Structure 1
């Protein structure tokens, strides 16, 4: 295994959802392991500026690009912008997602389209731009898609979200298979319930959560916590690094509750 402090010294990364939560945690981990070229993409320029300042203080050439992931051309332009900035892109992290609620019977066409445009179509075209670039560069490179345990099923009120993550799961394997001989690896992480700024907003907006909800939720979990972005980031960094070897097409469950298990 390579030195953890330098294994990403040659990495040039694009991270969507990079201004906060999982995306920012992964970007921090890459920089901690030697990455000096990071483009963060998201919607909130103010949060993006704070994230860039943090990574720059750690020695990275970091830049934030405001992107509407429902704009397909903007997704393709993002890869081109990163190549223009860094000369190349070797790593892509698709961490951005829309997590709005909707059941089978109350989901509008508009919500369905927004969900799939953000959670499935955007990663598709980001990967398209990335793979095309890597092929021109002679191959190599790594992708990590952040999915969800909901890709296995999900609650009734997450019908379109679960469907979009299931689509990205299949796409992860398809891309991994299609570009094996270009040495482009594509893997995914499927986290369970996570402690993120976005989750706090979601719990308050959709589920009437009040102050202290996180502590109450964590007390009921088998390991006494929700999934933490900084813990997941180490796994993502490994998957993106040469240390992962030939690993590709993997869908890794990242949770303390086991898919397919039932009460004793």
Structure 2
């Protein structure tokens, strides 16, 4: 009983900004934080109508949730997101970089524009959003927690994920660099290598890039060791723990959240 009560309140002091928070994993993280006591959140995304609907739904769960439209591939949107989030929440002590470009491209056919789009969204955007939040925390002499959503593809990835894999690998290194730089300021930074996930965005990718049939999800899950793709609600629980004070001194950690083990080979 005591542990359950603690779970309900462990993020009571968390004031978070969640990029890509209007659907999928980002939205699930926002829901989980509210369940754990967070009552002031900012979610961002590119789709105004979807963002407003998501913020309204989150407010009905008992939090003050503000949607700030932002395309994190654009520097001006990153700076605006930080500035407006701090103004809206009073202070920010948690950040989740969940927005991502998951488009396709191989080493032989990726154009400069596609490469730049991946790195602007998956590396440059998180870099400068973290910079803004960290400078805010340093100025206020407050602790904080950052979680970057990475990918198992950051280890290598499929041939058609060359720019995506490279960008997630870069964000992994940046996560550790930030953690090391600000450990004495009690600003923690961790990352999660997410495996193949069941999200609206993934369904769209399967349809656009792979001509997926309506039963693609059932077939995909049947092919996996545990019979399912990663579910956003499951992963959101780990993110909420990492953001909360309950995760203690954990920083610079990169957690593989997948059923396929990096480095394992068939026997």
The answer for unaligned runs of 5 or more in structure 2 is none
Q: What is residue 78 of structure 1 aligned with on the other side?
A: 81
Cα offsets for 1:88-135 (capped at 9, x unmatched): 001000000001100001000000000000000000000000100000
DSSP-derived class of the 1:246 partner: coil
Whether 2:67 is the aligned partner of 1:64: answer yes
Contact 2:21–2:99 (8 Å) recurs in 1: yes
Q: What is residue 153 of structure 1 aligned with on the other side?
A: 156
Cα offsets for 1:170-197 (capped at 9, x unmatched): 0000000000011000000111110000
Q: Separation in 1 of the partners of 2:233 and 2:82?
A: 25
DSSP-derived class of the 1:126 partner: helix
RMSD across aligned C-alpha pairs, in angstroms?
0.9
Please report how far the alpha carbon of residue 85 of structure 1 lies from its aligned counterpart in structure 2 after TM superposition. Answer: 0.8
Q: What is residue 199 of structure 1 aligned with on the other side?
A: 202
DSSP-derived class of the 1:259 partner: coil
Please report how far the alpha carbon of residue 142 of structure 1 lies from its aligned counterpart in structure 2 after TM superposition. Answer: 0.2
DSSP-derived class of the 2:126 partner: helix
Q: Separation in 2 of the partners of 1:58 and 1:224?
A: 31
Q: What is residue 126 of structure 1 aligned with on the other side?
A: 129
DSSP-derived class of the 2:201 partner: helix
Contact 2:9–2:37 (8 Å) recurs in 1: yes
Moved over 4 A (4+): none
Q: What is residue 226 of structure 1 aligned with on the other side?
A: 229
Q: Name which of 11, 18, 24 aligns with 1:21.
A: 24
Whether 2:52 is the aligned partner of 1:49: answer yes
Q: What is residue 96 of structure 1 aligned with on the other side?
A: 99
Please report the TM-score for the alignment, with normalisation by the length of structure 2.
Answer: 0.97
Cα offsets for 1:148-167 (capped at 9, x unmatched): 00010000000000000000
Contact 2:93–2:142 (8 Å) recurs in 1: no
Q: Separation in 2 of the partners of 1:37 and 1:167?
A: 31
Q: Separation in 1 of the partners of 2:147 and 2:78?
A: 16
Contact 2:43–2:68 (8 Å) recurs in 1: yes
Deviation larger for 114-123 or 41-50: 41-50
Q: Separation in 2 of the partners of 1:53 and 1:229?
A: 20
Please report how far the alpha carbon of residue 139 of structure 1 lies from its aligned counterpart in structure 2 after TM superposition. Answer: 3.1
Q: Separation in 1 of the partners of 2:106 and 2:43?
A: 32
Q: Name which of 176, 181, 184 aligns with 1:178.
A: 181
Q: What is residue 114 of structure 1 aligned with on the other side?
A: 117
Q: Separation in 1 of the partners of 2:178 and 2:80?
A: 20
Cα offsets for 1:12-39 (capped at 9, x unmatched): 1100000001100101100110001110
Q: Separation in 2 of the partners of 1:50 and 1:229?
A: 19
Q: Separation in 1 of the partners of 2:222 and 2:162?
A: 27
